[in-house]
Structure 1
Amino acid sequence: MSNIRDDVVWAALNRSRVLFDYNIHNDIHKQFEFRKQVLLSDKSLTKDEKDHAIRFLNETYDREKVRDNSGKRRICENCNQKCFATLFCEYCIRNHLKENFSNWSSGNDNIDNLIQKCQMEAIEPKRIIEYIPYNKLQNIKYLTKGGFSEIYTAIWTDGYYIKWDSKEKQLERLGTQEVILKKLENVENANLSWFEETRSHLSISNKWSRIVECYGITRKPSERNYMLVLNEMEMNLREYLQQNHYQLTWKERIQIIHAPEVITRKQTTKASDIYSVGMLMWEISSGYPPFIDYEHDYYLATKIVNGMRPRIVPGTPLEYRNLMVQCWDADPSKRPDASTLWNKILKIYKLNEPDQLEIHGSFTSKVYQFEIFSEPKNETEEEQKYDDFNKSNIWKNHNASIISNVFKVVNAKLSKILERNLKNDVQNDYKVATMSQHTNEIHNNPNLHSEEQNKLEIPDKIDNIDNI
């Protein structure tokens, strides 16, 4: 039996991350060295636990060095190439995958080429995209309709790759694993736009741990449509907010907002994405879906186009409020770009004195899409007095208690949400509830993220995107 106390190790890993200063430790190498020293000096850990924690830190550091093509290289003892990783060799892994190209096929040359390209860019064992034979999936059950895509649960008998054995020169798998299957509609008959969406999704998941893992693609032999094979998440953002608002600090709420960084990695940004982040910020601050006591119909859409926005929750930190309002400005040109948005969120996250709100609720929302309306405008302060937040009976008994100083860097209480956000890459070792966007999305594109996102609300499920 292991003597490793997982909760203690994880708390120490959290502390090591929260403590470093982005202004001082401004690259992955400085951050790694700082966190390593923090862990080594942590008196709450035994020697074995320190070794355990530092191994996880090394895994993260290896992945980031390979991804960023940065850091000190070493000579691999097997292939003699100069590699960045220390726990594995990225070149050995890629060569191994390349040698296996002839042993599988999806039945579609475009998909085969896409998967092969992803494999030749693999940055670690846990981030390998592959074609998964349908017979490796068992107990397949229909779950829901996500947007226009059918969602299924399944058991993947092999599981994803977790380790490179340098002696045997083989990749080792996790073993039996629960996954989500998302059907890609009309793949054979559609133009290549679906393929570009799929390519972006797989490529980003292949490199960035802040995205819900996509393990690859599968296809039922008797059907024409392919399916994405995704990591199964246990809880969506909305459910988590409803269950945990009494415990969430403002630091932890701000830590939930990850979409801006993901968008930054894509290089191009749509103003509608920034608008949706503003709505997401409001839901995080309140614990409720926006416009919960309105019918989601034409009339609500008209009100929004005419400037109505959710009323700001009392106690919301000023910096957070200002950023949220800027994100949902009616004029897209006045919304921050993705880089600015992420930097401002990071700045707010590092502040020392935001407040904690105690909010709870159990509400769901539906999606309404609009296309043709008059030019959007911003609501006046007078108009905002009469919006849904002010009218809602739900809030009559709402008592928002303010707890100061919970946003300080050294926070004795590290909540589950912070743990999950930082723990995405090792979630199969430390089982925690996480959020996913893949079981009920609201995108226009039936397969993946649409280029034109003109929705009134946020998705019911979003990604975890913080790495350890």
Structure 2
Amino acid sequence: MDILDDSKNTSICMQCNQRIINYSNQLCRKQFLSPSRINECSKIRSVQINQENKIESGNLIIDEFIKETQLNSKCCDDFIEWVSCSNLENIKYLTFGGNSKIYSGTWKLNQLSTNIALKVTKDSNNINDNILNELKIHHKCRSQNIIPFYGITKSPEGDEYAMIIKHAEHGDLRNYIRKFFPKLTWTDRIKILIELSKALNSLHQMNLLHMDFHCKNILVDEADRIFLSDFGLCQPIDSEMVSSSIQGVLPYIAPEVLRNKPYTKQSEVYSISMIMWELTSNKPPFSNKHHDVELALSILDGLRPNTVEGTPDFYTNIMKQCWDSDPLKRPDASLLPKIFEEMIELCKMADDKTVSSKVAFYSLPPQIESERETKSFGFDNMLPAYHSESEEKLFMSNENNYETKAYEYSLNIPQVPQELPPSPLLSASQHPPSPFQSSLPAPPPPPPFPPFQSSLPAPPPPLRRSRLPEASQFPKSGYRYQMEDADINEIEGGYRYKMEDVDINETEEDPRYNTQTYAFSLDHLNKAYTELINNRSRLSDFS
């Protein structure tokens, strides 16, 4: 689906009379172009590039990318512009995230100005395929749910390049939750989820997967509008790119992805479940755990955040379905907007203190039941409060089991011999004489249970950590939190994982929740998990 051809997602700019993708905010992007690129007679932007007015980025790849967006422009605000540093003012450093630094500033041109943010990607002075891919995909997936991408300029510091995007007044969603959590109602929460699911849906309709969906990649502006950002890991749905590394933010990565299975739309439904939990807790998931291979093994083993007390059941039910280990048991990604919209009235009731106690155990509205008959995939697993026809028949057939009646068996205790057969666990010398003892010679004792042998080489001695390192101790190069394969501790031929609780200052930026590449590999993680399951199965058989 081409989002630009969808009239529902566009409006008309009142100044240049062209379609506009993002809301205009009294700002016509045409006026931000240099006069040589504006057709003053028709008052619309010319799609022809004035070859005499060359783009001066200093990089041929960037020049060609900018020209391509302008030549193919169809709307008022669907092109990329090279912006000179002289047109940027009040530049201030804000924060870092993943492999980028974020600045705020003001863009001035032709007596107009707008607040912008600069995203400076590490090593962008050498434009490689990954950096170019992010630029192209961010431009391609432009819509009302995507943070507007205006142009490219030089970094305020160094020789790197910076993306010019819309400034989001409230920053990322984590900062927004932290700032407004005491005032957030259940209606507010569900409205955020509606916008998030719509944004994700629009991306999927363009045959794209975000693949890095977490609160720090979701921005909120002054009007509380929700935008997706950071498309560095974004890939086409049918991409055949294979990687053995783990990239993203570990608590938001779906279990099947950790199991080295394909990343799908349903993997991003799992990420939404973690955001749902964060909206109820005012904390990012697993903030009290080290984000290492031990946590990854625990997630594969079924570990999920504890439900926050006071969360309505209708909300909890959907959240738990979204984080199901089986992606096929999660609600379909395309149905999430409607699912959340159906919860609006229940959220309003939960917010009303006079009825909140009655709505605590409600499920979703019954009108969805009729839709379950027409939607075979998605809704079937969505509503635990409703039963299938076969389940109803089973309940009906079992009704007679609960009638009062006399049973044929009695409560008399049967007589047993005073002397029981000898236990095989006792040695022959420990057995008392028994009339039941056989005259045959005693069988030889069973061989001892063989020790479990790991097929993996023993890693170095485990690192003992009593607390999480301070933020200053995290490596600054790439902002990568180093957790080595040695974090999998081999013991007695198998593997163990024991997590230690950690304390984090919730008011400080936590580098664990920045996008990163983890140092332990998918291959080693899955070998360790397979060893864990096999060892558990052997112990179960022995017992």
* TM-score, with length taken from structure 1: 0.51
Find the counterpart in structure 1 of residue 322 from structure 2. 327
Matched, 1:268 2:211: no
User: How far did 1:241 drift?
Assistant: 2.1
Residue 148 of structure 2 aligns with an amino acid whose one-letter code is: E
CA distance in 2 between counterparts of 1:327 and 1:243 reads: 26
Find the counterpart in structure 2 of residue 343 from structure 1. 338
Find the counterpart in structure 2 of residue 215 from structure 1. 150
CA distance in 1 between counterparts of 2:52 and 2:517 reads: 31
CA distance in 2 between counterparts of 1:368 and 1:185 reads: 16
Distance 1:357 1:310, change over 3 A: farther
User: How far did 1:185 drift?
Assistant: 2.5
Residue 179 of structure 2 aligns with an amino acid whose one-letter code is: Q
- 3-state SS, counterpart of residue 91 of structure 2: strand
CA distances 1:174-227 after superposition (whole Å, capped 9, x unpaired): 32x4432211233354641321121111233xx412222222111259954211
- Of 134, 137, 151 in structure 2, the residue corresponding to residue 200 of structure 1 is 137
- Flag structure 1 segments of 5+ consecutive residues without an equivalent: 1-26, 33-56, 69-87, 159-171, 359-364, 375-386, 395-436, 447-453, 455-468
Find the counterpart in structure 2 of residue 83 from structure 1. none
Residue 160 of structure 2 aligns with an amino acid whose one-letter code is: N
* TM-score, with length taken from structure 2: 0.45
Matched, 1:256 2:207: no
CA distance in 1 between counterparts of 2:21 and 2:297 reads: 45
Find the counterpart in structure 1 of residue 277 from structure 2. 282
Find the counterpart in structure 1 of residue 55 from structure 2. 104
Matched, 1:308 2:245: no
Deviates more, 1:348-357 or 1:111-120: 348-357
Contact 1:67 1:123 in 2 (8 A): no
Residue 112 of structure 1 aligns with an amino acid whose one-letter code is: D
User: How far did 1:132 drift?
Assistant: 0.8
CA distance in 2 between counterparts of 1:440 and 1:213 reads: 27
- Flag structure 2 segments of 5+ consecutive residues without an equivalent: 1-5, 23-38, 210-262, 354-469, 472-479, 489-498, 519-524, 526-543
Higher relative contact order (Cα pairs below 8 Å, separated by 6+ residues): 1
What is the aligned-residue identity percentage? 31
Matched, 1:179 2:116: yes
Deviates more, 1:290-299 or 1:276-285: 290-299
CA distances 1:79-124 after superposition (whole Å, capped 9, x unpaired): xxxxxxxxx99x9644266448834342333323332333345565
Contact 2:290 2:500 in 1 (8 A): no
Residue 112 of structure 2 aligns with an amino acid whose one-letter code is: L
Contact 2:61 2:127 in 1 (8 A): no
CA distance in 1 between counterparts of 2:278 and 2:18 reads: 32
User: How far did 1:136 drift?
Assistant: 1.8
Matched, 1:116 2:52: no
Alignment of 1:37-436 (within 5 A): 93-95=44-46, 98-99=49-50, 102-120=53-71, 122=73, 124-125=75-76, 128-158=79-109, 174-175=112-113, 177-187=114-124, 189=126, 191-204=128-141, 207-220=142-155, 223-235=158-170, 236-257=172-193, 258-266=195-203, 267-269=207-209, 270-271=263-264, 272-349=267-344, 353-356=348-351
Residue 208 of structure 2 aligns with an amino acid whose one-letter code is: T
CA distance in 1 between counterparts of 2:180 and 2:157 reads: 44
Distance 1:109 1:190, change over 3 A: closer
CA distances 1:286-339 after superposition (whole Å, capped 9, x unpaired): 222223333444444433232111122334344432332222222344434431
CA distance in 2 between counterparts of 1:101 and 1:201 reads: 28
CA distance in 2 between counterparts of 1:371 and 1:223 reads: 32
Distance 1:332 1:102, change over 3 A: farther
Larger radius of gyration: 2
- 3-state SS, counterpart of residue 136 of structure 2: helix
- 3-state SS, counterpart of residue 289 of structure 1: coil
CA distance in 1 between counterparts of 2:319 and 2:482 reads: 22
CA distance in 1 between counterparts of 2:208 and 2:136 reads: 16
Contact 2:119 2:164 in 1 (8 A): yes
Contact 1:140 1:155 in 2 (8 A): yes
CA distance in 2 between counterparts of 1:173 and 1:100 reads: 25
User: How far did 1:353 drift?
Assistant: 4.7
CA distance in 2 between counterparts of 1:339 and 1:59 reads: 30
CA distance in 1 between counterparts of 2:348 and 2:92 reads: 47
Contact 2:21 2:78 in 1 (8 A): no
Residue 292 of structure 1 aligns with an amino acid whose one-letter code is: S
Distance 1:192 1:260, change over 3 A: same
Residue 61 of structure 2 aligns with an amino acid whose one-letter code is: N
Contact 1:281 1:324 in 2 (8 A): yes
Contact 2:84 2:153 in 1 (8 A): yes
CA distance in 2 between counterparts of 1:265 and 1:370 reads: 35
